[in-house]
Amino acid sequence: MKIQIKKVTALFLTAALTMTVLTGCGENEKSYPDGNINLVVSASAGGDTDTYARILAQHLEKELGVTISIVNKGSAIEGTREVHNAEKDGYTVEFFHASSLLTKIVGKTDIGGLDQAICTVPVVDTTQTLVIPAAKFKDMDDFVKKATSGEEIIASVNQGSYAHLACVLFENAIGGQFKYVDSQNASERITDMLAGRIDIFFAPYGTIQQYVESGDFISLGIMSEERNQFLPDVPTFVEQGYDITMDKYFYFAFPPETPQEIVNTFAAAVEKSVANQECIDAFATYSIVPEYHSPEESVQIPKDAEASYAQFKEVLSGQ
């Protein structure tokens, strides 16, 4: 009788252990994502980076079935570092652009975009332009003539940034020499140009379009290989004899060593989002066509850019 009790007890223990194991497996094998995602935008609210992030987040919420909370960071360096040091669970992701490469190249930080797990590049802004005040210059030829005749040209940039690089490329192309003054964003530069304090700055066309239409600013053209389909009357720098291209790409990135299946799941949601007509229409407002790039393609894009930017390290760092 005692033997039978022991056998029955053993059977119950075996069954209980089996149920525990099965229950545990079910709890641990939750599909990603099963909770809200923090989207760290490494820029202040209101700019192009923030705007594009919010458009994408709206559609990603539908695809992923979770809430995506936008977390703006005033410093790009701060945002990139926060994501880099976050848990590798897929619930903290960064949205930023190519300037992350430049800040590392010039020594402002030891962490750049390529130190993250790049997920996808969903936006390539082909509307980047350089603008000048209409009160002082007539057109591109007039600007170049004055800039190469010894007249002081004041360029407003954030040192070591994408805006800085654009001005340096143009300065080199025309054989001029600009005086650089510091500014943090496009709104500061617009105010300074309207007040007559600066002569040139870099911005997405949509940021300055109203001032071009009002006659206050002159766009020198877009810095892309081909004309933008939404801006057919705006020439490229290439057309005008200056082989300068500065398309600005934006990417999603996770902390390094984030599992590839998480990266792929998020990337698949982005692919569906940018194919959504409502998302396409929203970006059209900014003269942009969103486009999906796979994780593999999206890693190669900044790698190629970094190799190109590195040659300007000294001038961008003020050496």
Between the alpha carbon of residue 30 and those of residues 25, 251, 262, the distances in Å are 9, 27, 12
Q: Tell me what pLDDT residue 318 has.
A: 61
pLDDT for the residue numbered 29: 56
Element spanning 169, H or E: helix 162-174
Query: Are 63 and 96 a contacting pair, CB within 8 Å?
Result: no
Give the pLDDT score at 190. 95
The rounded average pLDDT for each run of 10 residues, N- to C-terminus, in the chain (319 residues) is 42 44 48 95 88 97 97 85 95 91 80 90 95 97 96 91 89 94 88 97 93 97 95 96 91 96 97 98 95 94 83 70
pLDDT of residue 303: 87
pLDDT of residue 14: 46
Give the pLDDT of residue 47: 85
Inter-CA distances, 27 with 146, 290, 298, Å: 70, 37, 33
Written as one letter, the residue type at 293 is H
Look at residue 30 in the predicted model and tell me its pLDDT: 72
The residue to which tokens 């003054």 are assigned: 181
Q: Rounded to an integer, what distance in angstroms lies between the CA atom of residue 79 and that of residue 20?
A: 41
pTM of the model: 0.83
CA 69, CA 31: separation in Å to the nearest integer? 20
Angle made by CA atoms 213, 230, 247, in degrees to the nearest 5 = 95
What pLDDT does 110 receive? 83
**Exposed (0-12), middle (13-18) or buried (19+): which is 185, by Cβ within 10 Å?**
middle
CA dist 76 and 96 (Å) reads: 8
